């Protein structure tokens, strides 16, 4: 398929310094989008400047910031841009990313943003069904606890909503906790206190199984979630699977991108019709 030199997709991720998990998650999503939209020029950027600097210093690998990617997009004469964030929430990182992109609003004719992973209740349900299908081997005396990042942003409300949906869909053995928000690991321990679960499976509720999964969740320090649950008498298993490793989850990103492109086409059509109407009434 011939690439349209004026159309582009910018894929924006938080980033990770763990190459193995990046290959299984961010790279997979990028490859999926490139294969689905071969007629679009693809640009990539990360939002974590700390991780970008770390990769450059440690591995001599340069990853564009959003601003750097936008400068390339303007230089290349892109007129139609779809921004696809791989962020989990419409939170702080997503807000900053949108502001960085819109700083170039005068230089790119049409810009539209696809939604992050968990934007609607339907998104939450799809993710939960995908996760619980992948973890259907849980024994009767085993609970699964997902580690989300958590945030001071109002988007943190998604995490307690996930807990509610787990329960509403009948997954009484599934719990959500966050590293930096609500609910916390203490909240989950309280919920587990009066149950018969003797085992706990820990899994990240983050795109990549990076620093939080390898250290805060499954690390050897006394304050890792693994050791906290063990100290409370539970047998613990850790599964280092980032959300981006689940094919059904990756497909949600593609659905969001499809919707954004349809919205852009609708927007372009409305502009064209409005121009025609002005010409006729002139």
> Is 80 exceeded by the pLDDT of residue 116?
yes
| Nearest Cα to Cα of residue 143 among 236, 209, 216 | 236
Domain 121-244 maps to which CATH number in 3.40.50.720, 3.40.50.1400, 3.30.1440.10, 2.160.20.10? Answer: 3.40.50.1400
Tell me the domain boundaries of the chain: 7-116+247-281, 121-244
Q: Which residues are annotated as a binding site?
A: 149, 180, 212
pTM above 0.95, yes or no: no
Average pLDDT, integer, range 122-137: 97
- 149 catalytically annotated: yes
3-36: pLDDT as tens digits: 667 999 999 999 999 999 999 999 999 999 999 9
Average pLDDT, integer, range 178-199: 96
Distances (CA, A) of 266 to 40, 64, 105, 271: 18, 30, 19, 9
Q: What is the pLDDT of residue 279?
A: 75
> Is 80 exceeded by the pLDDT of residue 268?
no
Share of the chain above pLDDT 70, in %: 96
Q: Which residues are annotated as a binding site for Co(2+)?
A: 149, 180, 212
Fold that domain 7-116+247-281 belongs to in CATH: Rossmann fold (3.40.50)
- Which letter does DSSP use for residue 216 in this model? I
Average pLDDT, the chain: 95
Q: Which of 19, 62, 135, 149 is catalytic?
A: 149
> What are the tokens at 46?
């990360």
Q: What is the pLDDT of residue 282?
A: 64
């Amino acid at each position: 398929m011939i690439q349209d030199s004026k159309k582009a997709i910018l894929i924006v991720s938080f980033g990770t310094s763990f190459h193995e998990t990046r290959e299984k998650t961010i790279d997979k999503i990028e490859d999926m989008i490139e294969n689905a939209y071969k007629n679009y020029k693809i640009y990539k950027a990360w939002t974590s400047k700390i991780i970008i600097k770390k990769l450059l210093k440690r591995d001599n690998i340069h990853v564009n910031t959003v601003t750097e990617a936008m400068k390339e997009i303007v230089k290349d004469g892109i007129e139609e841009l779809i921004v696809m964030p791989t962020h989990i929430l419409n939170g702080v990182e997503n807000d900053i990313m949108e502001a960085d992109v819109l700083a170039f609003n005068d230089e790119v004719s049409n810009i539209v943003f696809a939604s992050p992973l968990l934007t609607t209740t339907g998104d939450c349900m799809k993710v939960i069904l995908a996760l619980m299908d992948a973890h259907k081997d849980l024994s009767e005396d085993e609970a699964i606890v997902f580690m989300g990042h958590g945030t001071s942003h109002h988007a943190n409300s998604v995490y307690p909503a996930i807990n509610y949906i787990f329960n509403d869909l009948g997954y009484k053995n599934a719990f959500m906790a966050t590293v930096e928000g609500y609910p916390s690991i203490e909240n989950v321990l309280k919920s587990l206190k009066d149950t018969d679960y003797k085992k706990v499976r820990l899994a990240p509720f983050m795109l990549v199984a990076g620093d939080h999964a390898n250290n805060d969740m499954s690390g050897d320090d006394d304050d890792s979630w693994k050791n906290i649950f063990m100290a409370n008498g539970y047998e613990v298993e850790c599964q280092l699977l980032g959300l981006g490793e689940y094919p059904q989850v990756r497909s949600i990103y593609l659905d969001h991108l499809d919707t954004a492109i349809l919205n852009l086409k609708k927007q372009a059509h409305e502009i064209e019709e409005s121009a025609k109407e002005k010409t006729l009434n002139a």
